Amino acid sequence: MDKIIDKIFDIKSEENFKNICFEIFNFQMDYNPIYSAYSEIILKGKNPNKLTEIPFLPISFFKEEQIICQGQKIEEIFLSSGTSGNQSKHLVSDLSIYKKSFRKAFELFYGDIKDYCILSLLPNYREREGSSLIYMVDNLIKNSQHIESGFYLNDYQKLSQTLSKLEKEKKKTILFGVSYALLDLAEQFPQKLNSTIIIETGGTKGKRKEYLKEELHKILKNSFNLSTIHSEYGMTELLSQSYSKVNGIFKSPPWKKIFIRDVNDPLSFVEKEKTGGINVIDLANLYSCPFIATQDLGKLYEDGSFSVLGRFDNSDVRGCNLLI
């Protein structure tokens, strides 16, 4: 499989992506018992010829089943937030693939990690075990090799002082922050930022008033005198991130692709710029499941970029019960 892994991170064209997809789809059908059982019900003996004909596994299966290919050892288990009985579990057999994925994606969108000081304001994630986001940010912090890089938990004053120091030095800085903590920082320690990029990672749920993304970004832009707020789109069940640099429009690395399914007919897909459920192909997931129907709503644009508009109520992904 080493050759496939090398090919995943060296995709140069749509045709290239498609060919690797079908290679990994065949591997999944041979070695992933949950995915192959689900796919056989969907395909009814047919062979997919287009990417949209490949079955997408409802993401709720990560809560209910062990999604991993046969013969793979578990190196790490990433857990979603939520109560223990309601958590998604991503069984990761090769952490080097995850590291390669997030490092290459960061480099693709932002350049060399060593050019930045990396700050983290992710208190609720830091306080629990098994967060894939913390694993990624911790690795980026270490690889930045900057003395000020680090986690700041709830110490808003210290973080504000560090930002001021870095601004005076005109040091390129990235602050990863969960939404509610960024709002707290904005309210308590507003300041003008010129050399800092803020990347919000979502998450006000249960912590404070919920804001629409546009409202949240407006507050942060005003408090820090920034023209734009960046966002990161990832999840426990995926090993690749998408990034938005402006207006909530996300772009993905070459080994990840987004499709939008019809909310009333989950095996069909809607036209560009129509709202529907987000389906993801993440080839870095080759040992768990690369073809996933998420519980997020979004739109896809002509250039392959996309926006995220919210979530399904009660996770209404039809097809989840096909194996019951």
The pLDDT tens digits for 257-290 are 999 999 999 899 999 999 999 999 999 999 999 9
Check residue 315 and give its pLDDT. Answer: 44
Residue the block writes with tokens 């990672």: 201
Name which CATH class applies to 97-233: alpha beta
Which residue in 190, 192, 162, 157 sits closest to 175, CA to CA? Answer: 162
Distance between CA 22 and CA 218 in Å, rounded? 42
Regions of the chain with pLDDT less than 50:
314-324
Structural domain boundaries of the chain?
A: 2-67+255-323, 97-233
Phi-psi region of 130 (alpha: psi -120 to 50; beta: other; left: phi over 0): left
- Residue 277 makes CB contacts below 8 A (sequence gap 6+) with 260, 261, 262, 263, 266, 293, 294, 295, 296, 297, 298, 312, 317
Q: Please give the pLDDT value at position 311.
A: 85
User: Which residues sit opposite 150 in a β-bridge?
Assistant: 119
Neighbours of 216 (CB within 10 A): 21
**Which residue bears the tokens 């789109």?**
233
Q: What are the φ and ψ backbone dihedral angles of 198, each rounded to 5 degrees?
A: -100, 125
What integer pLDDT is reported at residue 16 of this predicted model? 96
What pTM did the predictor assign? 0.92
Question: Which tokens in the block code for residue 282?
Answer: 């993440």
Which CATH number is 2-67+255-323's, of 2.40.420.20, 2.30.38.10, 1.10.1270.20, 3.30.360.10?
2.30.38.10
Q: Hey, what are 71's tokens?
A: 């013969």
The vertex-70 CA angle with 68 and 72, nearest 5°, equals 70
143 vs 304: CA distance, rounded Å: 30
**Apex CA 310: angle with CA 307 and CA 314, to 5°?**
145
Q: Which pLDDT does position 154 carry in this prediction? A: 85
Query: What's the CA gap between 90 and 132, in Å, rounded?
Result: 9
What pLDDT score does 85 carry?
A: 66
